[in-house]
Amino acid sequence: MFIAMNRFRVKKGSEQEFENVWLNRDSQLKHEKGFVEFHLLRGPEQDDIRLYVSHTVWASEDDFIAWTKGDAFREAHKNAATRSPLYSGGPHFEGFNVLQTVTV
């Protein structure tokens, strides 16, 4: 499995707008080959920002890369530039290959 994460440093006062964008979007991820699950995480407040993370689990890194090269990815991110006033800096991507999973 592969985990793709983006960290967002959202300016204080913009948290609700940021959350609304994510919670009300028309996600098509469930139709993508290899997609497993998505989480939007709200993290701690810092001086002038709140940390958020989008956390997506894929069956493989190849499935994730294929999604990033397709039309669905472009459609999902077409308005990203218009939301830059919400952020302190751009998103920070991190990708991880899963070495171990422990479940209940």
- Domain assignment present for residue 20? The answer is yes
- Domain assignment present for residue 32? The answer is yes
- Domain assignment present for residue 101? The answer is no
Q: Report the CATH number that the domain containing residue 76 is assigned in CATH.
A: 3.30.70.100
Each residue's pLDDT tens digit in the chain (104 positions)? Answer: 999 999 999 999 999 999 998 898 888 899 999 999 999 999 999 999 999 999 999 999 999 999 999 888 888 777 777 777 888 988 899 999 999 999 99
User: Left, alpha or beta for 28 (phi > 0: left; psi -120 to 50: alpha)?
Assistant: alpha
- Domain assignment present for residue 104? The answer is no
Per-residue pLDDT, 99:
97
Per-residue pLDDT, 49:
95
- Domain assignment present for residue 103? The answer is no
Per-residue pLDDT, 8:
95
How many domains in the chain?
1
Q: Are 74 and 38 in contact (CB under 8 A)?
A: no
Single pTM value for the model = 0.87
Q: Pull the structure tokens for residue 101.
A: 């999973």
Which secondary-structure segment (H or E) carries 72?
helix 71-76
Which residues constitute the domain of residue 67? 2-96
10 pairs with which residues across the strands? 50, 87
